[in-house]
Structure 1
């Protein structure tokens, strides 16, 4: 993961075109023309031994002949020349190259190594970064850089666009130019041999020229890198994604419903949501969402109020809102009274607020003020259809200040043509997003709503849960190892049940019988009624061969059912092996819902958790949602809420609500199972019965595979909580737990902050802060363990709970070379050695991660911290023209 030298891609001082040409319509000629005509002010060098001069400029025979090493090189030469050119450029001192050439992955050298690999080897020796190969190039309009063979230039703007599709790049350029949309960066990634989405997201997250990031994604190669970068970028600015390939070619063969239903698009959807980004499905929405989100204010709820001067547009907006799953605000009695006083008797007396077509500007202002003061109204859609009675510009001038000053989101819709251009311009100048139709405006509002939901997923502080959860990890690991050692990849039903039991998932009482007679005996011991199911390693879905019999009331029925199953198996699948029968107590829960919970392994993002409606019609109902592990209570409940069956689980008529917490516990347990047991690749619980009394698993299927070598946790797209870093030390004669911070620490971390002396807070953050806002608390406790680490010192209270006494934090740069640290100890615990304990653990961790240097800052007056870090080997130097000291600790050469 690296942004090293990417500044030379986007802010070069000089550019060389390797393979420049005069041949009309060639790539070399087009690139040279684009660079010279785009407004780039630095030197542009043309390199080609065939020419002495091109477009009035000298041409250099080779790289060695250049007067200086270019910051950026654009390579337009045949595939076999590229590795050598990269090597020459690197040796000369060039730090970035755009390789437009295609065919490097499919062409090998005399030793059978692809030219792509040779190119990367040559670049790696010099830390030279490569965009491409097989790309259109890049544009940075702010400095007039057009290092591409695109057919047009673009104007500067605040939006970055990244695309894997070269064809889409040129199409979007035309589309955006026709709509006067500008860009900060415009990048074609091509094959992403070196620079990929992760690198670019890291760079753009802190790019001051970029306000929003748009991406066209076809596939991701490094899920862990992408998720870390996307989550970091998603915290700082809107990221909007079009993902190609939504259609599923067909369900693959799998041992479980979950595996068969795990289409890659659904997994990408889960990943995009988890990263706090917004997914859209067409180019129009891509740019609309970027503009809307960049201008939107914080959204504190999802209820929309509609204000219009025409009933028809109001109804159209309402219909669109309902179709999108939105919420219409219910006006409070106080607001209705205000509107009655300000509007004519014929107004709509509800939401939408129809103020009648002859409304003067004063009526608009009064209605908007009343709506925006109503706590039931989270956002307002303003719709105006032109009339001959009042000039639209007058209305725009009257309401724009009110719309701009309110803390609520106001969206404008000026229905009509060129006659409303001035009114639209007045709104746009005040930063009010404006749309041509009610449907477009509603769609934009729902984009804000979905983005808010995704940001809540990204920034949440979930409540503490499953504190007493103690899975039998070794029992489960032994079971899976024995199955694999026996040469099997699928667990039997009893083995699956034992696996679930090891992770605290309730299962129905079950016995395994070898014969129909033994099945009858076990049934009598369990108690009637019972269910009997066939056991065969060749049978994935028992109902397909009549292998399930329910509600058997006596031993005779059990014997007969088991014998009949055996006969059917012999007839239908004579090659199948009968392993016996399972006998289960019937779970009589007539009001229970049948649910499907599962695990699948995606080839890109690794394990995913699925939840949805269960039963034998699971593929037909197509009601499921997916989430990436690790899960906690809040993420589990969000996963449930994204399905249709979630509405049924809330209860209706004589059916009480299901125990949602119990369902969530099973999802979290499955997440922990996936994290702990890398051999597990597919799992189905179908059905899981859920009602007001809890949950119980009736059937499960599990598929295994030996994990690849290396860290088992690397298969997860999001690094889970690193429990292995927990350490108990002796402090003041009592045990003290040093461990990584968790999202569940939110409430305790708030108590820790509130116990700090204001002066200690000022010394830590260089300013006064009285309270910790929810977003700040989330940022401190919900961390990406791949990017940063925060160790807390935690002591057990008399009541058994833990209190936080101090925290030391390090945030690594995307290159992983340098980490910035911070530390604070509870004010009443200072001077007792806590700071040293935390810093020593943090330093050891950073060293183990390969970080080369730890840096920080401290006020001159923070003598305690300065003394501590000096004792730990830090150097301290006054910052130039500042009241702070710069702190540095080298860890590795």
Structure 2
């Protein structure tokens, strides 16, 4: 339901409190006091059958007696009464309810489930249960158990835990931060993380979002909302339960499954969404301190100035630990420092980073150093550290720093960020820095972490907007052949593909693999090995059993066999060992493979596993038999492009071994990345594939080759093929080829790598047509502008591009972006100026409307300039309702109810 009726929750005109009380120490008394002390301007109706009046407010016996439907009902009554209260509130026409009460249970037959069903029957939104409530300072609403009403500000806090919400809010209140909203979700029967992210992402009063969670229930919904929010503003996430080790669906059986620990998968999801992750409450406080006073900035070069080299060196160490960069002062800045700080007696070359001002540094010395560093283009931010000594006045230093920062802001168009550490700071110095808007911390570690929060956020935003390399034009997997292989195995009730099926599957996706020869017995294995041995090579012999996943555990792999006799002997040993160690296992035969000699190849692992929350996960890392002990791996959610695959490779330690060193040439990293992209595509195409291991995947300068692989399959279920994926994949099923009068056109959904064809397309669009499309002259087709057009979340938006079959040139595009409730969508369309009147507009509009209907979107809307008569005529022929925008007579609002059938274009 997303943001449906969120106005009733976050800006209600009236509040009913069920379970209100005058008895101190009760939830009902505490929330009633908070409501009144916050100065809530609307009506407050206490509800409790045991009271006629509480204070000066009359008390009602039931929500059915409310004088009018309350926008918000806060419930603190006993657990067994909650379903009835919710049902009565819904029947009365109330808009939303916050259930603070705990102990409602969970699952079928519980009071929580009964309350959820009662609310859904009336369209009543539910927050909670087991939550601390919510506080919206701008609305003067404090329907919570928070100790203090948070001041008004631009940070939004969304927390699963009531104590975490209270802790962060209380810490922030004490430091002078304000909130646009504090929302505690509790068990999240209805309103969930994604709903709140959608709201605060669109809220103009929110600059950054703080998020605490324990688990995600609906991964696709969460990922779509998180990706949209992170593109709009910083989102900092703290997850409890990082060290859980058990999977809900039992112990994984492949190396990939074992490597994909639950929190590592969450980390991959947060990274893919562009969220800024912290790992402790104290780190969240550092993020609050930074985001509350400093906006994100480009660059990561930090200049450090301190009154002691030791404390400065500690900051440098922490900066290096977190991947930051130490700035190097320019020669001009060194000379300026030498002129401004003559008392130190140091030569200009001695002014390095960190800058040591000496234990006797006073406010004037700090100010002079700051003036020089703020003007230096060789750094992106400055960290000021002051340790109180008997030789300096800490408050005077703080005042001088604040004034120097103000001077710097007045002198520069883009104010350079300054972070401050005042060890053992007083309330006065804290207040001075706070008034100046300078993020300040108790330790150098917290300050550097705060600096790196913004660096990582900016880098994540840059990564989200990068254009991926195009896939090779000849990569077109044979999906029907691959599907036939896995479906046959599923029909037979098998869990694992046999080696020949694995080879066929990999061939369908052009994943290079060592040749596989299957042999039913020892003699057949010797026969298969002979051609290799006769040519001077050696072979490997491997057991084939649906019951033995890790062959080496029972000695099921023999290498470097040089004769037929050796092959027969090895086969006999394998059978004997299997009979002894795994008498329950069914051995169906052997695999014979030629030994591959790539002395300088790196052993890697690449694979898929099935996470119970986020579905398919791509795994990459260092391979070999000790892969789980080494635990050098990184995870990513499919689908992948070459950029995301390269980033996945770069997050492993083994990535450094892929570079050239000594006499070893660099491995072909693009070939590795392409294998990962193909694996991710396989996961999207074939929901039956649940786990996949390539171990080892050998990589060197000549490319990659899979030496050993295993694939687990299971029935896919009745859901659409993309339902298991947390991130909606490229919708291949919406590709179309249509014939117009003069030419054939290929229409497909837009891909991130389409930035180049969009840039070329706009060169063929007249200035007049650009103004009709964008409502203003457009002259700068920057990377950021084009990235917004080509990088889509297919879960909530679509764009179709029309391409000339002969030339490959872009001819036009249409797009539709759904609202958070997925009920209405806003469209836009543009056709190349020289191609109007050939029917392409009709084709694109028709396909866009078909997609909207398939997605369950009920209304399509748009804004059209009154002078755009061609577009308005098409809208009228498509049965759009057309009316003048009441706020601008030059703009027409068009709207189509999709419950009506699609009109056909006129001949």
TM-score (norm 1): 0.94
Residue correspondence of structure 1 range 858-877 to structure 2 within 5 A? 858-877=864-883
Match of 1:19 in 2: 19
Shift of 1:91: 2.5
Residue correspondence of structure 1 range 330-349 to structure 2 within 5 A? 330=328, 345-347=346-348, 349=350
Shift of 1:652: 2.0
Give the direction of change, closer, same or farther, for the CA distance of 1:659–1:349 in structure 2 (3 Å limit). farther
Residue 165 (1) aligns with residue 161 (2): yes
**Partner Cα separation in structure 2 for residue 98 and residue 399 of structure 1:** 44
**Alignment equivalent of 2:311, drawn from 297, 310, 313:** 313
* Alpha carbons 1:858, 1:885 under 8 Å: kept: yes
Shift of 1:374: 6.3
**Partner Cα separation in structure 1 for residue 810 and residue 725 of structure 2:** 29
Residue 438 (1) aligns with residue 439 (2): no
Give the direction of change, closer, same or farther, for the CA distance of 1:191–1:657 in structure 2 (3 Å limit). same
Match of 1:677 in 2: 686
Structure 2: gaps spanning 5 or more residues: 901-907
**Alignment equivalent of 1:180, drawn from 176, 180, 190:** 176
> Which secondary structure state, in structure 1, belongs to the residue aligned with residue 546 of structure 2?
coil
**What root-mean-square deviation, in Å, do the aligned CA atoms of Structure 1 and Structure 2 show?**
2.6
Match of 1:715 in 2: 724
Match of 2:322 in 1: 324
Shift of 1:431: 4.1
Give the direction of change, closer, same or farther, for the CA distance of 1:360–1:173 in structure 2 (3 Å limit). closer
* Alpha carbons 1:378, 1:408 under 8 Å: kept: no
Deviations 1:229-260 (A, max 9, x none): 11111111111111111113358532211112
Shift of 1:702: 1.2
Shift of 1:327: 2.7
Shift of 1:337: 6.8
**Partner Cα separation in structure 1 for residue 234 and residue 502 of structure 2:** 43
* Alpha carbons 1:851, 1:892 under 8 Å: kept: no
> Which secondary structure state, in structure 2, belongs to the residue aligned with residue 208 of structure 1?
coil
* Alpha carbons 1:355, 1:363 under 8 Å: kept: no
Give the direction of change, closer, same or farther, for the CA distance of 1:609–1:396 in structure 2 (3 Å limit). same
**Partner Cα separation in structure 2 for residue 441 and residue 167 of structure 1:** 25
Match of 2:74 in 1: 74
Deviations 1:653-707 (A, max 9, x none): 2222111100000000000110011111111111101111111111111111101
Q: Which moved more, 1:497-506 or 1:145-154?
A: 145-154
Match of 1:42 in 2: 42
Match of 2:538 in 1: 529
Q: Which moved more, 1:351-360 or 1:520-529?
A: 351-360
Match of 2:863 in 1: 857
Structure 1: gaps spanning 5 or more residues: none
Give the direction of change, closer, same or farther, for the CA distance of 1:80–1:747 in structure 2 (3 Å limit). same
**Partner Cα separation in structure 2 for residue 36 and residue 394 of structure 1:** 42
**Partner Cα separation in structure 1 for residue 541 and residue 579 of structure 2:** 17
**Partner Cα separation in structure 1 for residue 425 and residue 162 of structure 2:** 35
> Which secondary structure state, in structure 2, belongs to the residue aligned with residue 604 of structure 1?
coil
Match of 2:227 in 1: 231
Deviations 1:468-518 (A, max 9, x none): 211121121111122122221012233223222221111112211223332
Match of 1:647 in 2: 656
* Alpha carbons 1:493, 1:699 under 8 Å: kept: no
Residue 275 (1) aligns with residue 282 (2): no
Give the direction of change, closer, same or farther, for the CA distance of 1:330–1:755 in structure 2 (3 Å limit). farther
**Partner Cα separation in structure 2 for residue 291 and residue 542 of structure 1:** 53
Deviations 1:838-869 (A, max 9, x none): 11221222122222211111222222322222
Residue correspondence of structure 1 range 500-539 to structure 2 within 5 A? 500-526=506-532, 527=535, 528-539=537-548
Deviations 1:279-301 (A, max 9, x none): 10122221321442465455444
Give the direction of change, closer, same or farther, for the CA distance of 1:339–1:804 in structure 2 (3 Å limit). farther
TM-score (norm 2): 0.92
Q: Which moved more, 1:702-711 or 1:86-95?
A: 86-95
* Alpha carbons 1:308, 1:352 under 8 Å: kept: no
Q: Which moved more, 1:303-312 or 1:198-207?
A: 303-312
Give the direction of change, closer, same or farther, for the CA distance of 1:106–1:220 in structure 2 (3 Å limit). closer
* Alpha carbons 1:397, 1:426 under 8 Å: kept: no
* Alpha carbons 1:329, 1:351 under 8 Å: kept: no
Residue 596 (1) aligns with residue 605 (2): yes
**Alignment equivalent of 1:497, drawn from 487, 499, 503:** 503
Match of 2:460 in 1: 454
**Partner Cα separation in structure 2 for residue 46 and residue 556 of structure 1:** 90
* Alpha carbons 1:238, 1:290 under 8 Å: kept: no
Q: Which moved more, 1:330-339 or 1:12-21?
A: 330-339
* Alpha carbons 1:213, 1:290 under 8 Å: kept: no
Match of 1:401 in 2: 407
Residue correspondence of structure 1 range 193-272 to structure 2 within 5 A? 193-249=189-245, 253-272=251-270
**Alignment equivalent of 1:757, drawn from 756, 766, 770:** 766
Shift of 1:411: 2.9
Q: Which moved more, 1:122-131 or 1:447-456?
A: 447-456
> When the two structures are aligned, how many residues end up with a matched partner?
885
**Partner Cα separation in structure 2 for residue 20 and residue 398 of structure 1:** 53
